[in-house]
Amino acid sequence: MTDSFWTGGPGAYADGLREHYRPRLDELRKRRDDADNIEPAELDAEIERLEAEYKSKLDSIDDCLF
């Protein structure tokens, strides 16, 4: 997802963020749960990083112009 002009206001932007981040987070969580040879701590760190990025973008919606 790139920074760009969004029509539909903050709700549409939040929906776009959710559609962008949810599949990525779900896939990482599935890989962590199924991990045999992958270090779960590495996947946890990546999940935390993506969750923080997602939350930061949601928190900044009020600062965006639509």
What pLDDT, in 10s, does the model give residues 29-66?
A: 999 888 676 688 889 999 999 999 999 999 998 777 65
pLDDT at 27 over 90: yes
- Residues with Cβ within 8 Å of 20's Cβ and at least 6 positions away in sequence, in order, are 1
For the record, the structure tokens of 4 come out as 């760009």
Sorted by where each begins, the domain ranges of the chain are 7-13+38-66
The pTM assigned to this predicted structure is: 0.76
pLDDT reported for residue 49: 98
Distance between CA 47 and CA 9 in Å, rounded? 28
Q: What is the DSSP string of 16-58?
A: HHHHHHHHHHHHHHHHHHH-SSS-HHHHHHHHHHHHHHHHHHH
pLDDT at 2 over 60: no
Q: Are 13 and 5 in contact (CB under 8 A)?
A: no
